[in-house]
Amino acid sequence: MKCRNIGMAGKIAGVDNNPDHCREAIELQLVDEMLPLEAAVMQSEIIILAVPVGALVQLLPQVLDLVTTQVVIDMGSTKSMLTQLVQDHPHRGRFVAAHPMWGTEYSGPSAAVGNAFEQKAVILCDTAASDTDAVNIAKELFNGLSMRIIEMDAISHDLHAAYVSHISHITSFALANTVLEKEREDDAIFEMASAGFESTVRLAKSNPDMWTPILMQNRENVLDVLNEHISQLRKFKSCLEKENWEYLHELMSNANQIRRIIQ
């Protein structure tokens, strides 16, 4: 809806394999009409690919085969595999690799939130491989949505994404499993679960169909971060085992420096 408001979309066509999602998208007025992929690509000037990254590696080459002067922008959470995949495609220049840093644990048309992207960051990757006019159109779009544009190469993107997004999901999934494993017989936890708990396990509601391919494509970075995270947790464990309260305090004081990053 917001693309309409900023004059970047006269008409919006949607494409979705799921008939329920097609109906919802129309009902929620997210799109003007639903079309088959090829028809939608032919009629459009800007094509936004917002599918799980496992599907994206199938879809992007297919769409690039169809385009001539259109601009194709993806919304995927991983970038290295995708950009490598299409690096020699004759229409590579029409593609702009983008990752808007916003999402929730929900998916599908009903998970859409108006103005969600406002003031959020969007990462544009390897823009030198895109045609200048395509990059400018993508920037106009994201600027129009009041996003902060950050440019970096796809390899750096995937490394940083492992830290600021992918590891958070793994810790949240693992925390949920920890609690479900131990507390399966007990209702107390339902009653006691507080805002702090909810905050740390919220992401555990995320869709495995979306997250399996993200972790698959960013496997090496995620493994590095996960190893580091487990070793950080072992420091806490060691403090508790050895009753080293001074070092425990120090670990937590150090963690407080995260205030530099989040408000």
Paired residues of 97 in beta bridges: 74, 125
Least distance to a copy of itself from the beta carbon of 6, Å?
22
Backbone angles phi, psi at 233, to 5 degrees: -65, -35
- Pick 33 or 153: Cβ nearer a copy of itself: 153
When the beta carbons of 11 and 249 are compared against a copy of itself, the nearer one is 249
Q: Is residue 136 involved in binding a copy of itself (CB under 8 A)?
A: no
- Dihedral, CA atoms, 138, 142, 144, 147, nearest 10 degrees? -160
- Edge-first strand order for the sheet with 46-49 is 46-49, 71-74, 95-100, 121-125, 148-152
Interhelix angle 208-217/53-66, nearest 10 degrees: 80
Within positions 11 to 50, which residues make up the interface with a copy of itself, using CB under 8 A? Answer: none
Residues 141-180 touching a copy of itself, rule: CB under 8 A, are 148, 150, 152, 156, 160-161, 163-165, 167-180
Kindly state the tokens that stand for 97: 């690799």
The number of residues that bind a copy of itself (CB under 8 A) is 92
DSSP 8-class letter at 94: G
- Among residue numbers 241 through 260, which ones bind a copy of itself (CB under 8 A)? 241, 243, 245, 248-249, 251-260
The verdict on 121 binding a copy of itself (CB under 8 A) reads: yes
Q: Which is nearer to a copy of itself, 92 or 235 (CB)?
A: 235
Pairing of strands 33-34, 148-152: unpaired
Binding to a copy of itself by residue 120, rule CB under 8 A?
Answer: yes
CB of 173 to a copy of itself, least distance (A): 4
Under rule CB under 8 A, residue 185 binds a copy of itself: no
